Amino acid sequence: MALATQFFIRAPHKPGTLAQVCSELAKVAVNITAIMASQDEAGGLRIVATPQPAARRVLENMGLPFSEEEVLAVRVTDRPGALGKITRKLADAGINIEYAYGSIVKGGSRALIILKVPDPKKAADLV
């Protein structure tokens, strides 16, 4: 179990915004390892990217308001019940999951799941 820094970017909801952010990050070799784009009540983009200092500079130079928050980055095997086992441990410890997103490459053996929890360090110790 690992902790990761997630950037929460408050970007305009219009065509091309995601393309612009991704393109600018790519120009300086920033790799996006996880992404969630939504226009819910909070809105915006959530990304986990490395190297973080370069990503931070790009966002600042673009003039996009953003914040950073610690999240849980979990690698789970691609089989039924793997995510349930981890989320059950968190639930049994009384840790609420505010949201989750993830991805897996077809044919890959493990998925990357990002979990937003109130106390990521405590959660990391549990799973």
Domain ranges of the chain: 2-69, 70-126
Given this structure, which CATH class describes domain 2-69?
Answer: alpha beta
Residue 29 tokens, joined:
């070799």
50-82 pLDDT, tens digit each: 999 999 999 999 999 999 999 999 988 888 999
Where are the alpha helices (H) located in the chain, listed in sequence order? 17-27, 52-62, 82-92, 120-126
Looking at residue 40, its pLDDT comes to 61
**Is 10 within 8 Å of 64 (Cβ atoms)?**
yes
Average pLDDT, the chain: 88
The fourth-level CATH superfamily of domain 70-126 is ACT domain (3.30.70.260)
For the full predicted model, state whether its pTM sits above 0.85.
no
Query: How many C-beta atoms lie closer than 10 Å to residue 13's C-beta?
Result: 11
Residue 112: pLDDT over 80: no
In the chain the first and final C-alpha atoms are separated, in Å, by 6
Number of C-beta neighbours around residue 15 at 10 A: 7
